Structure 1
Amino acid sequence: MTATTTETGGSDDDVLYEVSEGIATITLNRPAQRNALTVAANRRLYELWQEIDFDGAVGAVVLTSADCGTFCAGMDLKEAARIRRERGEDILAVLRDPFYGRMREVRKPIVAAMTGHFVAGGMVLALNADLRVGLAGTRGGITEARMGRGAPWAVPLVWMLPQPVLMELILTGETMDIERLHQLGFVNYVEPTPDAVRTRARELARRICSNAPLSVAAGKASIMAAMAEGCVRGLAMAAKIHEPVYASEDAQEGPRAFAERRPPRWLGR
């Protein structure tokens, strides 16, 4: 089937989506362009985050890309230059979600299966995920300073990487080995092949889906609240977030299933 071309020059196949066994899989699908992000892809991702949040059948998300050696090269610079030339606008002005902030608000856990190098917008997607699996021998970085751009979206990395390391990434624009990012705790696992990266990511997603959904959602919300508010206020917010969890039927089902030596039957209420 021939892909449809959108108004912004992207294709409706630039971002693929499927749900199976509670896991939503999003695939960036522009291997010839190193999975660079178009205006159309940005809009599609925003729509998918909305859809995932309200789909009760989805328990976790795997974000990956078509194999080409690069998970995501960032925004499509050729499209950005064309928009400036034809419309006189910077590409950020026409993006629905310029810094992919909606991704940070998704209630379901997101596992990034990074099957190649990741820079700029690729790093945005990586840091906005909750868990990260990388490919051995690849590199990641914040290359905006080399392109005359900026990286305000990198602020959450203050809580995820040592400050001197983050300064090096932002100020030099150089990339860093995935193995070092793993040692620093930014990447959860490093696997030898793209297929192994996706397999590990799906294993993590399956484990998440097997747990009580209210507990998972509250756990993610609590960590995000603590990052935003600091320890004291974050702790208070986490206690508030967990009140419905402790009052739920699932909170009784877990101990009951353990006592009866059977798998729990989560109801999500």
Structure 2
Amino acid sequence: MSVTVDLDKETGVAVVTLDRPAKHNAITVEMARRLGAVWRGFRYEDEVRAVVVTGAGGRAFCTGIDRAAAAEVPQPSSPYTIDDPLLAIGPKANDLWKPVVAAVEGMACGGAFYLLGEAEFVVAGEGATFFDPHTAYGMVSAFETVHMAQKMPYGEVARMALMGTAERTSARRAYETGLVSELTETGGALAAAVRAAAVIASYPTEAVQGTVRALWSAHEAARAQALAHAPHLVALGNLPPERQAELFTRRRDGHRTR
């Protein structure tokens, strides 16, 4: 299923890995379903007290939805709704309030922000980069920008979304602007994330989950309101799929990392 779960029963930390490295851990429809099932299952597994989510292979955390998989999903004709396979890939979308730490190596872009946006904090290796390709391919970045607006200053989110594939945010810049809470040497993000998760997992889980819920309540209303607009904006602003595919095949090779 390309999503693996490893639980250390001694520490109470589960590591969820997107395991499709040959495709930069791009998410298929089946992987999206599997992620939702994993998060929902953790609600009933008392031995899981904290979670780390990461990507296999080191080249990418996740590059969003697999374009071939996206083409398989039929869309409603109404501009007021959208069938987005990624909507329920995050822990909060599945009513899981156990703390989640994201460990990022390599690229994290586009649909990866659904996961990063629902993690409590992000640990990244120095070689990690963050970018949002949507506008370059004639697509509205709606859900992604809403998620990132909870993690970064407005100007940083706007720049990342609007610059598309021409520019990537370095792990260092992401650390400076608050998206990343800890910066490690390349290859060290997972170990650092697991260490932090193990500390959190050692505390009384009721207090931890209550704290996570309280943190989310601070911005939940604004986030929900913003996400409610996203389907309309996507329906109105996206180019037809064939034009998106054309732009994708002509995508630029070079990019600037800042």
Q: TM-score range by the shorter chain?
A: 0.7 to 0.9
The residue aligned with 1:5 is none
Q: Flag the structure with larger Rg.
A: 1
Q: Once the two structures are superposed, what CA deviation does each residue of 1:137-192 show, in whole Å capped at 9, x if it has no partner?
A: 22102221122223322214333211111111122223211100101111011111
What residue ranges of structure 2 are gaps of 5+ in the alignment?
223-258
Q: Once the two structures are superposed, what CA deviation does each residue of 1:82-130 show, in whole Å capped at 9, x if it has no partner?
A: x26xx6889x6373x5363554542100010112210011222112211
TM-score, structure 2 as length reference: 0.75
Which residues in structure 2 correspond to 1:90-105 (within 5 Å)?
93=83, 95=85, 97-98=86-87, 100=89, 102-104=91-93, 105=95
Contact 1:179–1:190 under 8 Å retained in 2: yes
The residue aligned with 1:55 is 45
Tell me, yes or no, if structure 1 residue 193 matches structure 2 residue 186. yes
Contact 2:91–2:97 under 8 Å retained in 1: no
- Alpha-carbon distance between aligned partners in 2 of 1:27 and 1:72, rounded to the nearest angstrom: 10
Superposition CA RMSD, Å:
2.2
- Alpha-carbon distance between aligned partners in 1 of 2:91 and 2:193, rounded to the nearest angstrom: 21
- Alpha-carbon distance between aligned partners in 2 of 1:212 and 1:147, rounded to the nearest angstrom: 46
Contact 2:117–2:150 under 8 Å retained in 1: no
The residue aligned with 1:16 is 4
Q: Once the two structures are superposed, what CA deviation does each residue of 1:25-68 show, in whole Å capped at 9, x if it has no partner?
A: 11111111011000000000000110012211110001011114
- Alpha-carbon distance between aligned partners in 1 of 2:111 and 2:3, rounded to the nearest angstrom: 15
The residue aligned with 1:65 is 55
| 1:77–1:229 distance in 2 versus 1, CA, 3 Å | closer
Select the structure that is richer in helix: 1
Which amino acid is 1:109 matched to? P
- Alpha-carbon distance between aligned partners in 2 of 1:99 and 1:177, rounded to the nearest angstrom: 27
Q: 1:40 aligns with which of 21, 26, 30?
A: 30
What secondary structure sits across from 1:93 in the alignment? coil
Q: 1:204 aligns with which of 196, 208, 221?
A: 196
Percent of residue pairs identical: 26
The residue aligned with 1:245 is none
Q: 2:155 aligns with which of 153, 160, 164?
A: 164
Which amino acid is 1:34 matched to? H
- Alpha-carbon distance between aligned partners in 1 of 2:43 and 2:68, rounded to the nearest angstrom: 32
Which amino acid is 1:185 matched to? G
Contact 1:127–1:157 under 8 Å retained in 2: yes
Which amino acid is 1:20 matched to? D
- Alpha-carbon distance between aligned partners in 2 of 1:216 and 1:94, rounded to the nearest angstrom: 31
What secondary structure sits across from 1:19 in the alignment? strand
- Alpha-carbon distance between aligned partners in 1 of 2:40 and 2:209, rounded to the nearest angstrom: 16
Which amino acid is 2:32 matched to? N
What secondary structure sits across from 2:33 in the alignment? helix
Contact 2:52–2:194 under 8 Å retained in 1: yes
